[in-house]
Amino acid sequence: MSTLAEAEAPPPLAPVPTEKPPRRRGRWTPYLLLAPGLIWLLVFFAMPMVYQASTSVQTGSLEEGYQVTWHFATYWDALSEYYPQFLRSVLYAGTATFLCLLLGYPLAYLIAFRAGRWRNLILILVIAPFFTSFLIRTLAWKTILADGGPVVGALNSLHVLDVTSWLGLTAGDRVLATPLAVVCGLTYNFLPFMILPLYTSLERIDGRLHEAAGDLYATPFTTFRKVTFPLSMPGVVSGTLLTFIPASGDYVNAELLGSTNTQMIGNVIQSQFLRILDYPTAAALSFILMAAILIMVTVYIRRSGTEDLV
Amino acid sequence: MKTTQNSSGDVRLTGIGKTYGSFTAVHPLDLTVPEGSFFALLGASGCGKTTTLRMIAGLEEPSRGTVSLGDQDVTHLPPYKRPVNTVFQSYALFPHLDIFENVAFGLRRRGLKSVKKQVDEMLDLVQLGEQARKKPHQLSGGQQQRVAVARALINHPKVLLLDEPLGALDLKLRRQMQLELKRIQTEVGITFIHVTHDQEEAMTMADTVAVMNGGRVEQLGSPADLYENPKTTFVANFLGTSNLIEAEVDSRSGEEIVLKAGDGKLVLPEARCAAPATTGGKVLVGIRPEKITLTHADDAGEIPVGRNRITGKIAATSFIGVSTQYVIDSSVCPEFEVYVQNIDRDARLVPGADVVLHWSPAHTFGLDAAQSLLAGTAGSAGVEEGAAL
């Protein structure tokens, strides 16, 4: 439930209204406009959180029922047993985020500055995968990366798989059920969440700043390094957050494209909840994941210093 | 003002032109801007002045022709390799850098390590020493404008290009910055090429003004020369106000042309006639409003002999302090404008009064009658829409 709660977290942003200049007779208007969002947050975010928090400190069994016993040891037990999956989640999500940035930035740059009349078409193509289900798209990767398929065959004949196997990313002639497959799936599935914020912040940059930099002896590359990239930092930060946060809690990619050796924390939480039915451990893991993400994000935002950007 | 000898720092445009598809933004033109001069490109929006400037900066590739700075042909150099800097219309200051770093940008790109002394001096020159650590958005429009000038000037370019740099400022600040820019130009001695649509701004600041219209240079000269001797109706109307009368060449005597306008005769010095004046042909006679003296019809006998005169009736007056502006309804020109200094005001000069307008023939100028009378007036100022690049 907690992974779901995290996946739900972004939508409540939508109904927050922009306030109109207050008129004397409309004193209650802002509150009325806020109400749907607040009620939504209360019912679907705050209440489940409280419920899960209490579950995480309960003890008992399915047959005898659970009681709140303030058993905080569950947190420690969960962490010491599943820390490899935590680390793997951070590593996979981090790698996928980095790859998304690497792939997404040039495309966002192209759409913002060079696409001309093709801009809207490319944007639609970026969003187009959302028209099919997340699951189907991930399953498609099973076919793409299938053993003996053209992709694996090509990678094999180019000896790419030798290198990735040596790095421990793939195993032998297989790509499926390896870390590479999981990271590929994560990268693919979250790429639009990187491209769109990057595009938005690049598109806002005044083209005359590029001209001004060129006029002041900056080569095109220096212009990018000193003007374009710093000004696109808000997009880089929000894009990496929108990619990293859901990717680190994701379990579908590891489930469908990975193996038992590539389990992420999402898979553990899912099986604790739905298969092993150990609700306290599942809830504790969810809270640990949430806290870890919060700390990492806070440090990241502080370090990138984007509050200072206009 | 064209210089023919090749001084080391002249900007020379040779047959330079720009077309966008079928639209011609700038017709092939030749222009030489002497080193160290303050040169203005004046014209309404869409006349090609900004495109011309951008071709000098390297931000626009010319469709034909060449741009040279001194002996160097820079036509195909990218902007970052040209010894030219631009003050952009919207300033284009880097929002993520503070004022100091904005000004230091060009120096750092050229690999200078210790820039502090130069930047501080430059900030002092534009009186912004105190603001060095602020971000551009924390400054007022006038201050941002000075940062833009400082950021360009610190590189000691061969030529400083100014693209309507004062357009966003209010009138009072604009006047102040005009004088400021003129002072800086005199101080540093760099060639300034200034693009503007404000004729007053061009005249106050520039040594030489090129009036552009429809992608062509209509006339080039010193501000006084352009004002006193316009060669086309566009220049006559765009720079200040002109009264234009259609007249027929009656006879020629020595250096004077005698013209017939309505029932009266007007005299025009041949040297001031920009059109071929053959007897029987048409010529547009022009006279600036402030050159005209207004006399009440009752005193017509006191007007000295030898002055050009026209009779009419006052249609409207407006008092603007330093002068009074009259609109006169006359048979040769329906809306004749006359500006009279408020020295001794004649109380009889009220709407409806019959008056005689008279002026010295030496102030008269003649233009080709084949042109539109209204070219360059407020209504037709934006001669070509679009391409206001």
What is the domain-level CATH number for residue B106?
A: 3.40.50.300
Q: Does A309 touch chain B (CB under 8 A)?
A: yes
Distance, CA of B59 to CA of B41 (rounded, Å): 17
- B141 and B268 share a domain? no
For residue A35, pLDDT beyond 50: yes
C-alpha atoms less than 13 angstroms from C-alpha of A177 in its C-beta half-sphere: 9
For residue A309, pLDDT beyond 50: no
Q: Does A206 touch chain B (CB under 8 A)?
A: yes
Do the Cβ atoms of A310 and B135 come within 8 Å? yes
* Bridge-based pairing state of the strands B191-196 and B38-42: parallel
A208 closest CB neighbour out of B88, B106, B135: B88
User: Model confidence over A264-298: pLDDT tens digits?
Assistant: 999 999 999 999 889 999 999 999 999 999 999 99
The predicted pLDDT at position B331 comes to 84
For residue A142, pLDDT beyond 60: yes
Distance, CA of B314 to CA of A117 (rounded, Å): 58
Distance (Å) from the alpha carbon of B62 to chain A's nearest alpha carbon:
16
Percentage with pLDDT > 90 across chain B: 63
Q: Does A213 touch chain B (CB under 8 A)?
A: yes
Domains contained in chain B, number: 2
| ipTM score above 0.90 | no
* Owning domain of residue B290: 241-373
For the record, the structure tokens of A12 come out as: 């409540």
| C-alpha distances in Å from residue B2, one per residue of B10, B34, B209 | 10, 7, 11
User: Model confidence over B289-302: pLDDT tens digits?
Assistant: 999 999 999 998 88
Which of B282, B259, B257 is closest to B269 using CA atoms?
B257
- B321 and B285 share a domain? yes
- A-chain CB neighbours of B389 within 8 Å are none
- B130 and B268 share a domain? no
Beta strands across the sheet bearing B208-213:
B84-87, B159-163, B191-196, B38-42, B208-213, B216-221
Q: What is the mean pLDDT of residues B94-102?
A: 95
Do the Cβ atoms of A217 and B106 come within 8 Å? yes
The predicted pLDDT at position A302 comes to 86
Residue B154 and residue B122 in contact, taking contact as beta carbons nearer than 8 Å: yes
pLDDT confidence band for A22 (50 / 70 / 90): low
Q: Does A205 touch chain B (CB under 8 A)?
A: no
**Residue B382 domain flag:** no
Q: Does A225 touch chain B (CB under 8 A)?
A: no
Residue of A215, A226, A306, A307 to mutate when probing chain B, most B C-beta within 10 A: A215
- B332 and B202 share a domain? no
Domain final residue pick, B228, B258, B280: B228
DSSP conformational letter for B133: T
Distance, CA of A41 to CA of B305 (rounded, Å): 94
Which of B57, B91, B72, B75 is closest to B15 using CA atoms?
B75
**Residue B151 domain flag:** yes
Which of A6-20, B2-16, B38-52, B227-241 shows the lowest per-residue confidence on average (mean pLDDT)?
A6-20
- B299 and B205 share a domain? no
The CATH 1.10.3720.10 domain(s) of chain A lie at: 73-308
Domain final residue pick, B203, B228, B253: B228
In terms of C-beta density within 10 A (0-12 exposed, 13-18 middle, 19 or more buried), how is residue A139 classed?
A: middle
| C-alpha angle A28-A31-A4 in degrees, rounded to nearest 5 | 165
What is the domain-level CATH number for residue B259?
A: 2.40.50.100
Beta bridge partners of B98: none
pLDDT confidence band for A10 (50 / 70 / 90): very low
Cα of A50 vs its chain's centroid, Å? 24
Other CB atoms within 10 Å distance of the CB of residue A65: 8
Residue B244 and residue B286 in contact, taking contact as beta carbons nearer than 8 Å: yes
For residue B362, pLDDT beyond 70: yes
**Residue B388 domain flag:** no
Do the Cβ atoms of A213 and B110 come within 8 Å? no
Do the Cβ atoms of B88 and A310 come within 8 Å? no
**Residue B299 domain flag:** yes
- B211 and B257 share a domain? no
| C-alpha distances in Å from residue A278, one per residue of A271, A275, A285, A289, B60 | 9, 8, 11, 17, 69
**Residue B283 domain flag:** yes
Q: What is the mean pLDDT of residues B189-197?
A: 94
The predicted pLDDT at position A79 comes to 93
**Residue B234 domain flag:** no
The predicted pLDDT at position B378 comes to 65
User: Model confidence over B112-133: pLDDT tens digits?
Assistant: 988 999 999 999 888 899 999 9
The predicted pLDDT at position A125 comes to 94
- B279 and B157 share a domain? no
The predicted pLDDT at position A101 comes to 97
Q: What is the mean pLDDT of residues B214-235?
A: 93
Residue A145 and residue A257 in contact, taking contact as beta carbons nearer than 8 Å: yes
In terms of C-beta density within 10 A (0-12 exposed, 13-18 middle, 19 or more buried), how is residue B224 classed?
A: exposed
Q: Does A310 touch chain B (CB under 8 A)?
A: yes
Distance (Å) from the alpha carbon of B29 to chain A's nearest alpha carbon:
24
For residue A6, pLDDT beyond 70: no
Q: What is the mean pLDDT of residues B367-381?
A: 75
The answer for residues whose C-beta is within 8 angstroms of residue A35's C-beta and 6 or more apart is none
User: Model confidence over B309-357: pLDDT tens digits?
Assistant: 899 999 999 998 899 999 999 888 888 999 999 888 888 999 999 999 9
| C-alpha distances in Å from residue B24, one per residue of B19, B27, B45, B64 | 4, 6, 14, 12
DSSP conformational letter for B128: -
The predicted pLDDT at position B172 comes to 86
Which of A216-230, B92-106, B294-308 shows the lowest per-residue confidence on average (mean pLDDT)?
B294-308
**Chain B positions touching chain A (beta carbons under 8 Å):** 57-59, 78-81, 84-86, 88, 90, 92-96, 105-106, 109-110, 135, 137, 151-152, 155
Domain A73-308 has CATH 3.40.50.720: no
- B182 and B276 share a domain? no
User: Model confidence over A94-108: pLDDT tens digits?
Assistant: 999 999 999 999 999
- B268 and B209 share a domain? no
Please identify which residue in the block is written with the tokens 């008129």. Answer: A23
Please identify which residue in the block is written with the tokens 């220049």. Answer: B235
**Residue B385 domain flag:** no
The predicted pLDDT at position A306 comes to 61
- B45 and B192 share a domain? yes
- B50 and B92 share a domain? yes
- B221 and B250 share a domain? no
Percentage with pLDDT > 70 across chain A: 90
For residue A118, pLDDT beyond 70: yes
| C-alpha angle B68-B72-B76 in degrees, rounded to nearest 5 | 70
